Structure formats: C-alpha cells, structure tokens
Amino acid sequence: MLKQQLQQKLQQKLSPAQIQEIKLLEVTTLELEERIRQELEENPVLEEGPEPELEKEELSDDFEEEKIDEEVNDEIDFEEYLDEDEIPDYKLRINNTSKDDKYEEIPFSAGMTFHDYLMDQLNLIPLTEKEKIIAEFIIGNIDEEGYLRRKPEALIDDLAFQLNIETNEEEIRKIIKIIQQLDPPGVGAYDLQECLLLQLERKPFTPEIDIAKRIVKEYFKEFTRKHFEKLIKGLEIDEKKLKKAMNEIIKLNPKPGSGWSGSVLEKSMTTVVPDFILENKEGELYVHLNNSNIPELRINSTYNSMFQDYMANKRNQTPQMKEALMFVKQKIDSARWFIDAIKQRQQTLLTTMSTIVEYQKDFFLEGDVRYLKPMILKDIADRTGYDISTISRVSNSKYIQTDFGIFPIKYFFSESMINESGEEISTREIKKILLECIENEDKSKPLNDEKLVEVLKEKGYNIARRTVAKYRDQLNIPVARLRKQI
C-alpha cells in the first residue's frame, strides 16, 4: 500500500569544498605537493603561477564566490534549458570522471624483496623439480623477520592440500637445512635461539665463539634472563671470558630479514620534511610554512574567456555548447574550491602553530625539555577558536624545524602532574628525568621500579610505581633484570 507523508528533518551536510579543506588539512607538505601535481594534471583550468594584475581586473563578478549564484542565475537559469536527467551524474562531481574510466598508473621500481633475494640464491642450488617446488613453498612461509613459523607437520599438510605434493618430515627438514644456508645468516630459523646458533656456526672458530655457541645451545634461558652467576658456574669460566662471549652474541642479528622489510618507496618516504620553520631573531620567534616547493595557483584565462563567450551566446546554444558550458563551469568551480582550500589550510596551519609556539615560548627559546608546559589539544583549541578535531588534524604527522632540531608537533602535547612544590609540570619532563636516572645507574645493579620511585621522590616527584612502569614502557626501557650488564 502506497501512502504519502510529510516529514521534517534537520541534517548537517558538508559541501564538497568543506570536505576538500578537511582532507588537505591532514596531509603533510610532501603529500600536498603531490596532491597539487595531481590536480594540475586532472584539471585543465588550473595552472601554476601568480595571477596577473590585468587578469584580476578583467575577472567577471561571476567568479566571485559571493556573487556566483546571484549574477549567473539572474542572467541565465540553468534549469530552464538544461534537464538534469540529460547530464551524466559523474559530470556533476568534483573529479568529473566516470567509474568506468580506465586508470593506468605509471609503474615504479620497488627493488628486490626479501623473498626474491632468497629465490635468486635458491635457483643456484641443484635441486630436483619436486624439491624446488617444496623449497619455494617454504620460502613463501618465511615472515618478514626471516623466521619460519610453521612446523614441518603443518607444511606437509599444506603441500598436500594446496599443491597436491606428498612429502615427509625428513625431506622437509632436509630442504629447510638448505634454505638455512642462504644469506642473510639465520634465515629460516624457527625461533631466536636457532637463529643465533645458525649465525654463530657461520663464524670462524675462536674460544669466544665456542663459548657463545654453548651459551646459546645449553644456557639460553639463563642468558635471556641475564643470570650471569649461573653462566659462569655452569660454563666454568671467569667473568672476562663470559663478557667476550656475550659481546659476540650481541653482535648477531635477531631479525635477519628486517633489513629487507618494506619497498624502496616506503624507505624513501621515511625522510622527514618539516612543515613549519621557526626562526629566532633576537628573542622574537617567527613561524613560517615550508612552501618552497608549493607553487602558486590560478585559473586559466582562456577558460575564463570561454565561459564568458558561452554565457553571452546563451540564446543560440546547441546541446553540445550546453554540455561544454557545464564542463567549463564544473572545472572552474573545482579549481576555485581547490585554491581556496589550500589558502584555508595554510592559514589554519599557521595560526595553530603560532599559538603552540606562543604557548611553549620558553622551550623554543631555550630548547630544554624542562621548559615544556603541560598542553593538551583543548588548550590550543580554546586559544585559536578552532575545533579540537581541527587541532588534532594539524598536529598529526606534521613537523617543525627549530634551532634545536626537527620535532613532531605532537611532541609538544603532554599531560600534567603536580610536584611537591605545587607546580604544574609536564609528564615529558618526568620522562626525561627518569631516562637520565636509568642512563646513570650502575649497570651491574640496575634500579628496579621501586628504587626509581624513591629516586624520583628525592627529586621532588611523588609518582606511584605503576606510573613509573608505564613511563618506562613508553620509553621502551626494559625491566631492571634485562638491563643488567657484567
């Protein structure tokens, strides 16, 4: 049964321009450069270079954001002569592309992967066709750290079900032994103990290497727990020989495949390019955006003239001219939205970063972490008038270059604590003091968390043991037992 009803709703929708502003706000400087290059390729209306003064004077009011709707609609009503049903939906979108369009990406060289490297070596070893298939399957099961996590029994079942190859444990272990002889040393091991032992067996014989082999093979549990007294007693050696043997073990690579993880492109992207540059001129701090590789953008004057011509001849327009008019208008709108979004992004970034610098002025003048004030996103949001989500987007993945190095923006945000003097201090300051205490401790008798609590209390920081443990974990510092050295 069909029926009609009237319903009133209040909905909040973001315009395409607002969505574009939000997306551009999140990207880094490098990503913005790539985004601009992409937009210049896709939108013929957009071009590089400052807008000439003459063009600025000649631009019609039709292109002023506040007057587009009024003046264009006064001159011509699109709905009177253009039926929206005749216009493909994709032409009304920002990207003006059909979902059926074919996209051909330019390929890039990602270099040789870890598994390719192993396969190249495997191809040099004389194997039967069956052994080669099994070896390739085993290499495919080696993870990015270089370990073979699947047991022979599981590999036998997988080969039977996936490749219809019947084999046995003896043949699997034989091929695993062959793979373990490949480079890098330690590849194909089941666990850390076997990985270290495989690397030691490749080294030429010395008394230290021999002791190191025994430690890994017979006393691995005591070694990992740093029970040095048990090692000295069990191996019947003195402390000097133990130290030499342990130095040989420490030189080994616990993750032989880690050097190959990620493609060449991923590694190149680890380079940090600052989004902001801070200058200190005689005690006055100035924040600049790093816009050295970001071009100025403008609207192509040819398309502007084309649009004016179409508008002037609206009475004699053919369907093809109407379609061209819609195309040009859509591209001009898209270009204007993009230019305005970049301007808005730059202004938001600069305002936010200037506020952070003002809030943390003592730190940026001195470069000492002790001058960092407790600061959360809401503090900056209140001062700038922006939403907290906007501040979060600005601080995410952005960096600033200072006289003391390059810092992530998130570095300046931290919670607060109260010391014995009643002063509000940043938790980052406490972490630095905690790190200094651990760096200066007696390595033969490292401080446990309870002792660290006492040391911090003497310095005026009354912190619970669980808080010390949390900060230690955040600093990637192991427990006292694992920091012990001989």
Q: pLDDT tens-digit profile of 397-406? A: 889 999 888 8
Query: How many beta carbons lie within 10 A of that of residue 52, not counting itself?
Result: 11
Token look-up 């290059």 returns 37
Token look-up 């001219």 returns 321
For residues 293 and 271, the answer to whether their CB atoms sit within 8 Å is no
Long-range contacts of 380-388 (CB under 8 A, 24+ apart): 380/352, 380/355, 380/356, 383/355, 383/359, 384/351, 384/352, 384/355, 386/348, 386/351, 386/352
> Of 381, 289, 299, which is closest to residue 340 (Cα–Cα)?
299
Mean pLDDT (whole number) for 208-224: 90
Amino acid (1-letter code) at residue 288? H
Q: What is the pLDDT of residues 282-301, one digit of tens each?
A: 889 999 988 877 888 888 87
As a whole number, the mean pLDDT across the chain is 79
The DSSP secondary-structure symbol of 413 reads -
Please give the Cα distance from 249 to 11 (Å, whole number): 64
Mode of pairing for the β-strands spanning 297-299 and 46-48: antiparallel
Largest CA distance in the chain: 104
The predicted structure's pLDDT at residue 8: 78
Mean pLDDT (whole number) for 377-383: 91
pLDDT band at 420 (very low <50, low <70, confident <90, very high): low
Long-range contacts of 265-271 (CB under 8 A, 24+ apart): 265/108, 265/110, 269/30
Whether the predicted pLDDT of 57 surpasses 60? no
Whether the predicted pLDDT of 58 surpasses 80? no
Whether the predicted pLDDT of 357 surpasses 90? yes
Provide CB contacts within 8 A for 160, sequence distance 6+. 166, 167
Mean pLDDT (whole number) for 157-175: 90
Least confident of 356-370, 381-395, 406-420: 406-420
Whether the predicted pLDDT of 418 surpasses 80? no
Please give the Cα distance from 289 to 278 (Å, whole number): 9
How many Å from the N-terminal Cα to the C-terminal Cα in the chain?
86
pLDDT band at 59 (very low <50, low <70, confident <90, very high): very low
The predicted structure's pLDDT at residue 460: 78
Query: How many beta carbons lie within 10 A of that of residue 129, not counting itself?
Result: 7
Give the rounded percent of residues in the chain with a pLDDT score beyond 70.
Answer: 78
The predicted structure's pLDDT at residue 414: 77
Q: What is the pLDDT of residues 385-395, one digit of tens each?
A: 998 888 988 88
Mean pLDDT (whole number) for 165-180: 92
Please give the Cα distance from 221 to 301 (Å, whole number): 75
Please give the Cα distance from 440 to 12 (Å, whole number): 57
Mean pLDDT (whole number) for 429-435: 82
Beta strands in 167-310, from DSSP E residues, in sequence order = 276-281, 284-289, 297-299
For residues 143 and 149, the answer to whether their CB atoms sit within 8 Å is yes
Angle between helix 228-235 and 207-218 (nearest 10): 110
Residue 422 falls in which region: left (phi positive, over 0), alpha (psi -120 to 50) or beta: left
Q: What is the pLDDT of residues 24-44, one digit of tens each?
A: 888 888 888 888 888 888 888
Query: How many beta carbons lie within 10 A of that of residue 304, not counting itself?
Result: 19
Amino acid (1-letter code) at residue 152? P
Please give the Cα distance from 221 to 212 (Å, whole number): 13
* Buried/exposed code over 411-427 (b: 16+ C-beta within 10 A; e: otherwise): bbbbeebebeeeeebbb
Angle between helix 228-235 and 239-250 (nearest 10): 110
> Across-strand partners of 156?
none
> Of 335, 338, 331, 341, which is closest to residue 91 (Cα–Cα)?
331
Please give the Cα distance from 358 to 364 (Å, whole number): 9
Mean pLDDT (whole number) for 89-106: 46
Whether the predicted pLDDT of 264 surpasses 50? no
Please give the Cα distance from 42 to 95 (Å, whole number): 8
Whether the predicted pLDDT of 349 surpasses 50? yes
